[in-house]
Structure formats: C-alpha cells, structure tokens
C-alpha cells in the first residue's frame, strides 16, 4: 500500500475523541500517526494500520 508522509488516513474505528482521520508523520515498519481531532500521537505496526485503512487522502488533493 502506498502511504506517504503527510497523507490523511481514514480508519475503520474512531479514536475515543470521535475522529476517524489520522495524519501520517512517519512511515517504515511502523507508522507514527497524529489524530486530527485531538492531536494525540501513536505508533502502530504497518500491518495493523494497513488492515484498518478505509481511505487515503493525499496532501494537496481536494475532496
């Protein structure tokens, strides 16, 4: 899956703050993601993140 730094990921389940969207801060074997609702940051294994992605919005794309 082609995930880049700066992409906004829409995941299956919401964060406890209610937001479904996360910004990618780091890629590799793990992803560092920042919640777009409350700015909480997490590290999540790539396999787990890719399994839970519903949509990818690229930086600079309109939706």
pLDDT in tens, 9-33: 999 999 999 999 999 999 999 999 9
Higher pLDDT, 59 or 54: 54
**CA gap 15, 7 in Å, rounded:** 17
- Residue 24: name the closest of 13, 62, 1, 63 by CA: 1
SS3 47: helix
Averaged pLDDT, 4-9 = 95
Decide: 61 and 7 in contact? Cβ < 8 Å: no
pTM, two decimal places: 0.88
* Residue 9 phi, psi dihedral angles, 5° rounding: -100, 135
Q: Which of 53, 40, 39, 38 is nearest to 3 (CA)?
A: 53
Report pLDDT for 63: 56
């Amino acid at each position: 899956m082609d995930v880049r730094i700066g992409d906004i990921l829409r995941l299956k389940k919401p964060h406890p703050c209610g937001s479904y969207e996360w910004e990618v801060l780091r890629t590799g074997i793990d992803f560092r993601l920042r919640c777009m609702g409350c700015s909480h940051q997490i590290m999540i294994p790539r396999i787990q993140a890719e399994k839970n992605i519903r949509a990818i919005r690229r930086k600079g794309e309109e939706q």
